[in-house]
């Protein structure tokens, strides 16, 4: 952050204190019973946490603007930011270099079905990489159609374009893409119980549960005849 002749022992000492967890912002004082006041004493607008002091407080904004660029501040404020890494200035959290999920819906055709339309027995599925790491997880979908002899007659796949990178969302996206590229007779197969429940219970259930996926459920219902 600072370099060359600007860097003095006056800066090094607070950094060392921060790195080793020696800072006592207001929230920590309150948690430990040393103060009845947990609100930041500079701005009085939020709990006085270390994160607030370093990355959010209006009272430290001028220092922040002078020392770090806006991209660093945005990354530090991200919900996915690793708090100890940012708040103790250990090093920039590597999650800032993770590519965000794609935002342009794409459907890639492995095999285009007859007339470009799925029908008959069709399997739709969603999946995700890094299932145990929400910040890294990326989802996608795939669709495959088989004829009566089990031969592949059509297949498509694509990224799961949605703010919520979770496998159930990928399952819904798979089915949504299928419905947009299919016609009767259609014997659609899915291994997603939430999807099956959605079709069985209808629009009200789909739009009143599972916040975040209700819009997708609603989209599914809307493309049905
Ligand atoms: Zn403040």
Same domain, residue pair 88 and 112: no
115/83 same-domain check:
no
pLDDT for 41: 95
CB 11 within 8 Å of CB 2: yes
Please measure the distance between the N-terminal and C-terminal CA atoms of the chain and give it in whole angstroms: 59
Q: How far is the CA of 24 from the centre of ligand 1 (A)?
A: 14
At 202 the pLDDT is 79
Q: What is the pLDDT of residue 214?
A: 60
Give the Å distance between the CA of 124 and the centre of ligand 1: 50
Please tell me the distance between residue 185's alpha carbon and the centre of ligand 1 in angstroms: 62
Strand pairing report for 152-159 and 138-146: antiparallel
Q: What pLDDT is recorded for position 52? A: 92
Same domain for 69 and 124, yes or no, is no
**Ligand 1 midpoint to CA 29 (Å):** 15
Residues with CB under 5 A from ligand 1 (ion): 40, 42-43, 57, 59
Which CATH number fits the domain that encloses residue 146?
Answer: 3.30.420.10
User: Are 73 and 112 in the same domain?
Assistant: no
* Ligand 1 centroid – CA 210 distance (Å): 35
Domain count within the chain: 2
Q: Are residues 34 and 125 in the same domain?
A: no
CA atoms within 13 A on the CB side of 78: 21
> Could you list the residue range(s) of the whole structural domain that residue 192 is in?
108-223
Domain contains 99: no
Distance 90 CA to ligand 1 centre (A): 22
Between the CA of 117 and the centroid of ligand 1 the distance, in Å, is 58
Per-residue model confidence (pLDDT) at position 113: 95
Cα separations (Å) of 213 from 170, 171, 197, 206?
10, 11, 13, 8
DSSP per position, the chain: ---GGG--HHHHHHHHHHHTT----HHHHHHTTS-S--B-TTTSSSB--HHIIIII-GGGHHHHHHHS-HHHHHHHHSTTS-HHHHHTTSS--GGGGSPPPP-S---EEEEPPGGG-EEEEEEEEEEEESTT-TTT-EEEEEEEEE-TTS-EEEEEEEE--SSS--HHHHHHHHHHHHHHTEEEEEEEE---HHHHHHHHHHHHHHTTSSTTTHHHHHHHHHH--
**Given this model, what pLDDT does residue 221 score?**
56
**Single residue among 43, 67, 93 that ends a domain in this structure:** 93
What's the pLDDT score for residue 39?
A: 97
The rounded distance, in Å, linking the Cα atoms of 200 and 218 is 13
Distance 50 CA to ligand 1 centre (A): 10
28 CA from centroid of ligand 1 (Å): 14
98 CA to middle of ligand 1, Å? Answer: 29
Q: How far is the CA of 66 from the centre of ligand 1 (A)?
A: 17
| 190 lies in the same domain as 142 | yes
Is 206:218 a contact under the CB 8 Å cutoff? yes
The answer on 217 and 124 residing in a single domain is: yes
Q: What span, in angstroms and rounded, lies between the C-alpha atoms of 44 and 165?
A: 36
Please give the distance, rounded to the nearest whole angstrom, from the Cα atom of residue 157 to the centre of ligand 1: 48
In tens digits, what is the pLDDT along the chain, a chain of 225 residues? Answer: 455 566 788 888 888 899 999 999 999 999 999 999 999 999 999 999 998 998 999 999 998 888 787 877 887 887 655 577 788 877 666 666 788 889 899 999 999 999 999 999 999 999 999 888 777 899 999 999 999 898 999 999 999 998 889 898 899 999 999 999 999 999 999 998 888 888 888 777 777 755 455 656 656 655 554
CA of 78 to the centre of ligand 1 (A): 18
> What are the beta bridge partners of residue 120?
186
Residue 38 Cα to ligand 1 midpoint, Å, equals: 11
- Residue 133's pLDDT is 78
């Amino acid at each position: 952050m600072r370099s060359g002749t600007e860097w003095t022992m006056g800066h090094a000492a607070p950094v060392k204190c921060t790195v080793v967890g020696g800072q006592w912002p207001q929230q920590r004082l309150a948690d430990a019973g040393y103060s009845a006041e947990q609100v930041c004493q500079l701005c009085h607008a939020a709990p006085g946490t270390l994160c607030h002091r370093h990355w959010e407080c209006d009272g430290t904004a001028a220092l922040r603007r002078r020392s770090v660029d806006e991209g660093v501040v945005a990354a530090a404020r991200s919900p996915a930011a690793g708090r100890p890494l940012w708040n103790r200035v250990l090093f920039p959290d590597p999650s800032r270099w993770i590519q965000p999920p794609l935002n342009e819906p794409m459907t890639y055709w492995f095999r285009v079905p007859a007339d470009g339309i799925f029908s008959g027995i069709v399997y739709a599925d969603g999946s995700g990489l890094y299932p145990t790491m929400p910040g890294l997880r990326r989802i996608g979908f795939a669709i495959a159609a088989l004829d009566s002899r089990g031969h592949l007659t059509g297949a498509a796949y694509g990224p799961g374009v949605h703010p919520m990178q979770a496998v159930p969302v990928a399952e819904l996206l798979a089915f949504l893409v299928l419905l947009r590229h299919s016609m009767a007779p259609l014997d659609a197969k899915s291994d997603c119980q939430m999807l099956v429940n959605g079709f069985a219970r209808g629009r009200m259930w789909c739009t009143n549960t599972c916040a975040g996926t209700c819009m997708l459920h609603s989209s599914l219902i809307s493309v049905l005849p």
